[in-house]
């Protein structure tokens, strides 16, 4: 019995000794391979490594006008362990900050991911040339400090802020995600949104490095082996965007004092010509040391200038969506271009009614587009949902939904702009959940026929619909970048996305959209010298006055521009959205607005439709 006890103790003691050995081994592995503290200490005693930041790529518009370039700035870098004797008060006077601000910046520096007392840390970012001169002259008062050259973004135009994006300090998420390149360290800058974010890896370039030798007292003794191990930085790649900055600026002027957006596309290439979000702001506000202050002002603006409406705002597409139903109903042989339905100022079934404005009746398909007849599409949509060839309404709705999705709705288009929303196209399961499986009827979902109900679309998707109709059945994914220095743009921006609708059915819709402008709901915004094909829309808004929508393309043959304009809380599509759209089209196609249309331009420029 006693022997057994001693035997057990022997095993316990052996296990304890083994545990101690394993702990020591794990600690040694951590110190030598994982924890960089001792490596940092050793390196900082012998060397000072200065990063050479590359110049960021220049951004131009489609006509080679420079939109974004660089100017020199300076960051205050410190090695915390060397700051003994640092003259804090004189430093604060030199850079015009309070001691409280200085303490806050030191605290922020220490809380950054990857902070080390032995390696250079960012204390203050983006000093101008004047502050640099003052600090450089008094450098002996600030041990452990040196000034690091950086570049800031500069803008030639006060336009296109959201699509261009801005540069800001990298956050924790960016640092955590940077597991492959290990490019960023705390205090670095990167694209925060827009093109600056999407094409960050192209624009940022490659860092360089200078390595200086220290003596036993930490004094710089020159470069390591005369710069043999230095590495030069490589500038970022230049980008050429597809936007026309003059058209963009004109669109922003037309949309001033209004809430809404403009999306314009070249149908033949998918290149985005303009992407206006209103209200907007000058991109230079988010540059330099006042970036945070200005950002807070923009964030708290009740009109939300930081909200990218062309890409993110989702609206019922209203009557612009009638063109979609015209295509689907033809494809499914529910109607032909000669099919006519009556309209008695709306669609009536018992006590149920969808209203409509006054026009002659009955109308055929082309005329229904021309006069934007609600009753026509309610009747046609219900005929499809109730048709016996689909066996039940769920099957019919899924067929309808798949055609709609093929036209660019319900999912992201895949544009090279961050934060693109997908809009919303319901499936039959949605109505099963709302009404119960097999318990919903065509009359319950008839609002889908006129672009209301559950349907939501972004302005970019509606502009893309206009481009698809212009191309008679296909679109190319909308994109902002036309050329990238040194490499091709991604192949997805060159491929055709062909819809499930046969091309022959698009001609009928084109004829209807042509008549909209010649003698229909868009007549007041027509351009006499250009054949514009358009479709007005008025989207119901439960929170106020209806939204004004308009989509179009021009010229009718060989289209060069497709467009969608949304003006929130402003009423009929023909009143505001259509004139703004045709002014944009004329400006792009001609380069000027003729005298006979200047009255219309003046009315759009001077209108104030902001919410009271």
- Strand 145-155 versus strand 66-78 pairing type: antiparallel
Q: What is the pLDDT of residues 84-131, one digit of tens each?
A: 889 999 999 988 889 999 999 999 889 887 788 888 888 988 888 888
Asked, for residue 285, whether it belongs to a domain, the answer is no
Question: How would you label 82-120 residue by residue, b for 16+ Cβ within 10 Å and e otherwise?
Answer: bbeeeeeeebbebbeeeeeebeebbeebeebeeebbbbb
Q: What is the pLDDT of residues 468-482, one digit of tens each?
A: 999 999 999 999 999
- Count of the separate structural domains present in the chain: 2
Is the sign of the CA dihedral 385, 388, 391, 392 positive or negative? positive
Q: Three-state SS string across 163-177, please?
A: HHCCEEECCHHHHHH
Q: Which range, of 459-463, 540-544, 582-586, averages the lowest pLDDT?
A: 540-544
**Rounded CA Rg of the chain:** 32
CA distance 111 to 115: 7
Which pLDDT score, from 0 to 100, does residue 45 have?
Answer: 53
- The overall average pLDDT reported for the chain is 90
- Strand 239-241 versus strand 59-60 pairing type: parallel
| Average pLDDT of span 221-232 | 75
Tell me the whole-structure pTM to 2 decimals.
Answer: 0.88
Question: Same structural domain for residues 207 and 324?
Answer: no
Q: What is the pLDDT of residues 342-355, one digit of tens each?
A: 998 888 887 889 98
Which residue's structure tokens are 């490095």? 209
CA 326 distance to own-chain centroid: 31
Question: Same structural domain for residues 104 and 208?
Answer: yes
553, 530 contact by CB (below 8 A) = no
Which pLDDT score, from 0 to 100, does residue 392 have?
Answer: 96
Which pLDDT score, from 0 to 100, does residue 6 have?
Answer: 56
Asked, for residue 260, whether it belongs to a domain, the answer is yes
- DSSP annotation string for 177-212: H--SS----TT-EEE-SHHHHHTHHHHS-B-EEEEE
Asked, for residue 162, whether it belongs to a domain, the answer is yes
CA distance 300 to 317: 29
385, 442 contact by CB (below 8 A) = yes
Asked, for residue 283, whether it belongs to a domain, the answer is no
CATH number at 146 reads 3.90.1310.10
398-402's contacts with Cβ under 8 Å and 24+ in sequence apart are: 398/427, 398/428, 399/332, 400/328, 400/332, 401/425, 401/426, 401/427, 401/428, 402/500
| Average pLDDT of span 371-392 | 96
What residues contact 335, with CB distance under 8 A and at least 6 apart?
A: 329, 365, 380, 383
Beta bridge partners of 77: 122, 146
Question: Same structural domain for residues 519 and 455?
Answer: yes
Question: Same structural domain for residues 236 and 335?
Answer: no
Asked, for residue 165, whether it belongs to a domain, the answer is yes
Question: Same structural domain for residues 327 and 424?
Answer: yes
Strand, coil or helix: 98? coil
Confidence band, pLDDT 50/70/90 cuts, at residue 329:
very high
- Cis preceding-peptide flag for 279 (omega within 30 of 0): yes
Q: Is the pLDDT of residue 1 over 70?
A: no
Residues spanned by the domain of 386: 253-272+310-478+487-583+602-606
Question: Same structural domain for residues 190 and 323?
Answer: no
- DSSP annotation string for 574-595: TTTHHHHHHHHHHHHHHSS--G
Both tokens of 333, joined, read: 């042989």
Which pLDDT score, from 0 to 100, does residue 576 have?
Answer: 94
Asked, for residue 416, whether it belongs to a domain, the answer is yes
398, 548 contact by CB (below 8 A) = no
C-alpha separations of 483 from 36, 38, 59, 360, 504 in Å: 41, 46, 10, 51, 34
Q: Is the pLDDT of residue 284 over 80?
A: yes
Question: Same structural domain for residues 492 and 371?
Answer: yes
Question: Same structural domain for residues 155 and 262?
Answer: no
Question: Same structural domain for residues 109 and 165?
Answer: yes
- Cis preceding-peptide flag for 362 (omega within 30 of 0): yes
Question: Same structural domain for residues 236 and 357?
Answer: no
Question: Same structural domain for residues 185 and 206?
Answer: yes
Q: Work out the number of other CB atoms within 10 angstroms of the CB of residue 206.
A: 15
Confidence band, pLDDT 50/70/90 cuts, at residue 299:
very high
CATH number at 267 reads 3.40.710.10
Question: Same structural domain for residues 349 and 323?
Answer: yes
Find the length of the chain: 612
Asked, for residue 224, whether it belongs to a domain, the answer is no
Q: What is the pLDDT of residues 123-182, one digit of tens each?
A: 988 888 888 888 888 888 899 888 888 888 999 999 999 999 999 888 888 888 887 878
Asked, for residue 21, whether it belongs to a domain, the answer is no
């Amino acid at each position: 019995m006693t022997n057994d006890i001693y035997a057990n103790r022997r095993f316990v003691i052996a296990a304890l000794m083994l545990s101690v050995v394993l702990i020591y081994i794990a600690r040694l592995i951590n110190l030598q391979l994982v924890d960089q503290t001792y490596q940092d200490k050793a390196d900082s005693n012998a060397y000072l490594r200065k990063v050479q930041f590359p110049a960021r790529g220049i951004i131009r518009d489609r006509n080679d006008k420079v939109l974004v370039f660089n100017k020199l700035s300076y960051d205050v870098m410190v090695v915390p362990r060397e700051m003994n004797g640092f003259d804090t008060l004189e430093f604060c006077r030199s850079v015009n900050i309070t001691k409280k601000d200085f303490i806050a910046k030191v605290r922020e520096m220490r809380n950054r991911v990857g902070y080390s007392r032995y390696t250079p840390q960012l204390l203050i970012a983006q000093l101008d040339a004047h502050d640099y001169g003052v600090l450089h002259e008094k450098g002996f008062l600030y041990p452990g400090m040196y000034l690091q050259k950086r570049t800031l973004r500069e803008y030639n135009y006060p336009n296109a802020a959201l699509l261009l994006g801005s540069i800001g300090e990298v956050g924790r998420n960016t640092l955590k995600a940077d597991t492959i390149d290990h490019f960023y360290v705390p205090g670095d800058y990167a694209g925060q949104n827009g093109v600056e974010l999407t094409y960050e890896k192209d624009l940022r370039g490659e860092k360089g490095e200078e390595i200086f030798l220290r003596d036993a007292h930490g004094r710089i003794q020159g470069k390591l082996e005369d710069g043999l191990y230095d590495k030069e930085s490589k500038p970022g790649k230049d980008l050429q965007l597809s936007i026309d900055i003059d058209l963009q600026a004109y669109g922003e002027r037309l949309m001033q004092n209004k809430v809404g957006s403009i999306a314009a596309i070249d149908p033949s290439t998918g290149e985005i010509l303009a992407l206006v979000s209103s209200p907007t702001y000058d991109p230079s506000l988010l540059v330099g040391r006042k970036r945070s202050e200005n950002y807070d002002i923009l964030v708290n603006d009740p009109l939300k200038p930081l909200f990218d409406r062309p890409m993110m705002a989702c609206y019922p597409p209203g009557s612009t969506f009638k063109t979609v139903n015209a295509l689907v109903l033809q494809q499914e042989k529910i109607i032909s271009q000669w099919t006519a339905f009556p309209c008695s100022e709306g669609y009536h079934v018992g006590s149920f009614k969808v209203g409509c404005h006054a026009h002659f009746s009955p109308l055929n398909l082309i005329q229904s587009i021309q006069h934007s007849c609600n009753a026509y599409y309610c009747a046609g949509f219900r005929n499809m949902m109730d048709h016996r060839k689909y066996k039940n309404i769920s099957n019919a709705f899924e067929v309808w939904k798949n055609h709609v999705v093929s036209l660019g709705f319900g999912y992201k288009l895949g544009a090279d702009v961050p934060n693109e929303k997908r809009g919303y196209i319901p499936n039959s399961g949605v109505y099963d959940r709302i009404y119960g499986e097999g318990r919903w009827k065509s009359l319950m979902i008839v609002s889908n026929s006129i672009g209301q109900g559950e349907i939501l679309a972004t302005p970019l998707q509606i502009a893309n619909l206009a481009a698809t109709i212009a191309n008679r059945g296909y679109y190319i994914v909308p994109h902002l970048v036309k050329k990238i220095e040194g490499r091709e743009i991604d192949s997805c921006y060159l491929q055709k996305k062909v819809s499930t609708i046969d091309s022959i059915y698009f001609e009928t819709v084109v004829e209807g959209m042509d008549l909209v402008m010649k003698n229909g709901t868009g007549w007041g915004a027509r351009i006499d010298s250009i054949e514009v094909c358009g479709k007005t829309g008025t989207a119901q808004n439960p929170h106020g006055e209806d939204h004004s929508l308009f989509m179009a393309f021009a010229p009718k043959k060989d289209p060069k521009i497709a467009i969608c304009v949304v003006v929130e809380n402003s009423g009929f599509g023909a009143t505001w959205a259509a004139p703004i759209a045709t002014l944009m089209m004329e400006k792009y196609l001609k380069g000027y607005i003729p005298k006979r249309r200047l009255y219309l331009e003046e009315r759009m420029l001077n209108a104030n439709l902001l919410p009271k």
